[in-house]
Structure 1
Amino acid sequence: MGTDIHGFVECVYDVDEPWAAAIDMDLLYHGRDYDAFGCLFGVRNFAGFRPLAEGRGLPEDVSSAVRAEFEEWGSDGHSPTWISWAELKRVDWSEPAERVDARIHEYRRTEDGWAMYGKSAWSPRVAEVAGLARERDPGRLVRYEAHDWPEGTEWPDGEDRLYRIGRLTRREAIAAESEWQPLWTVMETLASLYGDENVRLTVWFDN
């Protein structure tokens, strides 16, 4: 069962007015990116980031529309939190995760060198290449965790494939050109009109 994100961009249009729901993020973001969820909010944080805005709950002054939408989820909605555009502008996107990724990184050789192909929490092929392919029960392989090996540990798999223990940066979790870009563009535009501290993303998750 996967985890999805929901929420709204909220904005203060006037200093004398309360926060208002500006736009449903479902209109701007259609992904399910666990690296981004972990980097931003500490949800599904397999990559081991220091979350930017974990467990804050709904803002005390959350708009009535956003509160009503969240409450409709009932027990299916969890981990509500928020982050302002001012905070997002201050992020050091080159900052690495606090620990190595809990998944093995797979690379494929391209004309420009090795390129990330995917990440896997469990792969029978990785177990075989790493020398863990002894049978525990008929047809089953020994389990492993990425943090069982030092960062930088590698296992070549032929000439065109490589497995590596690695650590992601925030930019690798949320690339400049990614599914998040439309959301960032809207927040940046609103912030240029009403101020960085007057624009925020309020979110929650479901399973």
Structure 2
Amino acid sequence: MRVEVFGGVEVPADECGEEWHQTVTFPPFVNGYAPAYECLFGGVDAVGFDPVAPERGLPDDASDGVTDRYADTEAPFGESYVTLAELRSAGWGSEADGGPYYWKVDEGGKYRRFQRTDELSEDELARLDAGERVTWMDWDGRYDLVRAPFTRKMALQRGGWWWVVTDLLERLVTHDVYDPEEVRAVGWCAE
């Protein structure tokens, strides 16, 4: 499932922390991969993640950059925000409900979701469900197929450059410029 993802990273604009400033927008860094958004904010029904910061709405004190872009978004939904402190305490190994999940594993060890299970034999599915690897030939190469959980970390890795967003949040707290509770990601979706 794909959705359009909007929002950005905000920091307090002054030392009092009363006003917020948008430092960067999500696009072009993140894509519309719904499980990535769902694992952070909820608001989309993709694979059944328990969100870190479920549908809180926009912050009352959101920056002008965020509120202006939000006002320009047609039919927004799934509004929420999360602080770096909350992201740090999230269980990145937390699994989505709704499995089982099957993956193509390339030579570099990268997992890509395999959804064509209807093309597998009953024997191949049984072997995967028993924890074995199955060799799969595809139009773009030969892969090992495995059954494995779908974690928050995996969803964010597939959702574009979310690492840029989380890395920026981390960098903003270096040298005690901001506290982890003072930097936040604010997001929403549109179809």
CA contact (8 A) 2:22 2:63 kept: no
Query: Which of structure 1's runs of 4+ aligned residues deviate more than 3 A?
Result: 32-35, 43-47, 100-104, 149-158, 160-165
Q: Which segments of 5 or more consecutive residues in structure 1 lack a partner in the other structure?
A: 133-145
CA positional deviation for 1:25: 1.7
Give TM-score, length-normalised by structure 2.
0.74
Maintained 8 Å contact 1:107/1:118: yes
Deviation for aligned residue 1:23: 2.1
Q: Determine if contact 2:101/2:149 at 8 Å carries over to the other structure.
A: no
Identity %: 22
Select which of 181, 184, 191 maps to 1:200: 184
Distance 1:41 1:56 in 2: 8
2:90 alignment partner in structure 1:
91
User: Which of 156, 164, 167 is matched with 1:185 structurally?
Assistant: 167
**Structure-2 change in CA distance of 1:44 and 1:116 (3 Å):** farther
Q: Secondary structure at the match of 1:8?
A: strand
Q: 2:121 aligns with which of 102, 125, 130?
A: 130
1:49 is paired with a residue whose SS is: coil
Query: Which residue in 2 is equivalent to 1:106?
Result: 104
1:31–1:98 Cα change, 3 Å: closer
Larger mean Cα displacement after TM superposition, 180-189 or 3-12 = 180-189
Alignment RMSD (CA, Å): 3.2
Give unpaired runs (5+ residues) of structure 2.
none
Could you tell me how far apart the structure 1 residues matched to 2:100 and 2:44 are? 11
The alignment covers a number of residue pairs equal to: 180
1:1-207, aligned counterparts within 5 Å? 2-26=2-26, 29-44=29-44, 46-75=46-75, 77-93=76-92, 95-101=93-99, 103-108=101-106, 110=107, 115-121=109-115, 123=116, 126-131=117-122, 152=131, 156-157=135-136, 160-175=142-157, 179-192=161-174, 193-207=177-191
TM-score (norm 1): 0.69
Q: Distance in 2 between matches of 1:14 and 1:128?
A: 58
Structure with bigger gyration radius: 1
Q: Supply the distance in 2 between the matched residues of 1:196 and 1:120 (Cα, whole angstroms).
A: 37
CA contact under 8 A between 2:133 and 2:145: conserved in structure 1?
yes
Q: How much has 1:103 moved relative to structure 2?
A: 4.9
SS at match of 2:171: helix
